[in-house]
A = this chain, B = another copy of it.
Amino acid sequence: MSIKCNKNAPIGVFDSGVGGLTVAREIMRQLPKEHIVYFGDTARVPYGSKSQNNIIRFSRQIIRFLRTQSVKAIVIACNTASALALDVVRQETEIPVIGVVIPGARAAVQATESKKIGVIGTEATIRSEMYTKIMKEMDPEVSVIGKACPLFVPLVEEGFSKHNVTGEIIDYYLESMKESDIDTMILGCTHYPLLRTRVREYMGEQVHIVNPAYETAMDLKKILEDNDMANETLEEEHATYSFYVSDAADKFKQFANSILPYDIETTKQINIEEY
């Protein structure tokens, strides 16, 4: 891929809601010179219960919106859209588009020695076996145990990450996985990096925890460097971050401010159906 672009243009990042902010946060950390335009589809969250046709339609609309913001690359920071829409929209889009599933899957396949990998995620992610399929394509010898942890998202969104009950619920969901012989575990939902410390403590040091948000930012960095697209002109403290949502901008802002390293001032609400 060789792309002529304005290196000072922003990275577009989108998710069905707030979860993808953990991916945006990793990009801010690893690529501090890059501007970011984030879109959270809060009007249509969650994507997990929607059909593939709808997920592709939503992703196309969001990519059209992000391109009005002149982005130079797009990160699909949503497991469902990464699994269901990436192949289609990548072919239609002239700028690089990456998802979170492949970087996470690849890191897990590279890390495992026992070839036993655990994946935790939403019910939709686990039921779809998206990580299992991709990892088995990468290495047919791996075996994968999936476990849906549907309460993790509301616990994180309601600010219970450090609360007592979260420990009990981690135990409830992950007990069988702890007793299994996995040596690697994927945090297969964009909210889960916010429980990473607690999950790591619970699972113990012998289990390598893969954070797809981290791996995705690494992949993005490599793509930008390989294609001479990285922003070199900017002092890192001047990168600008813009946030757009399709509904309930206030709640989004509140959550963003609780997890990002700085306070965001405005979140703009747009009508995504117009794109």
A residues sitting closer than 8 Å to B (CB atoms) are: 42-43, 49-50, 123, 150-151, 153-155, 157-158, 160, 163-165, 168-169, 172, 247-248, 251
- Asked if A168 and B158 sit within 8 Å, CB to CB, the answer is no
Within 8 Å by CB of A247, from B42, B50, B168, lies: B50
Give the 10 A-B residue pairs with the shortest CB-CB distance, closest first: A154-B154, A165-B165, A49-B248, A165-B168, A150-B158, A49-B247, A151-B158, A151-B154, A165-B169, A164-B168
| A–B Cβ pairs within 8 angstroms, 24 of them | A42-B49, A43-B49, A43-B50, A49-B247, A49-B248, A49-B251, A50-B247, A123-B251, A150-B154, A150-B157, A150-B158, A151-B154, A151-B155, A151-B158, A151-B160, A153-B154, A154-B154, A163-B172, A164-B168, A165-B165, A165-B168, A165-B169, A165-B172, A168-B168
- Please indicate which of the listed interface residues A49, A50, A160, A165 has the most CB atoms of chain B within 10 Å of its own CB: A165
Bound form: Cα–Cα A155–B151 in Å: 7
Bound form: Cα–Cα A43–B36 in Å: 30
Bound form: Cα–Cα A50–B251 in Å: 13
Instruction: Please name 6 further chain A to chain B contacts, defined as beta carbons within 8 Å, in addition to the given A151-B154, A163-B172, sorted by A numbering.
Output: A43-B49, A43-B50, A49-B247, A49-B248, A154-B154, A168-B168
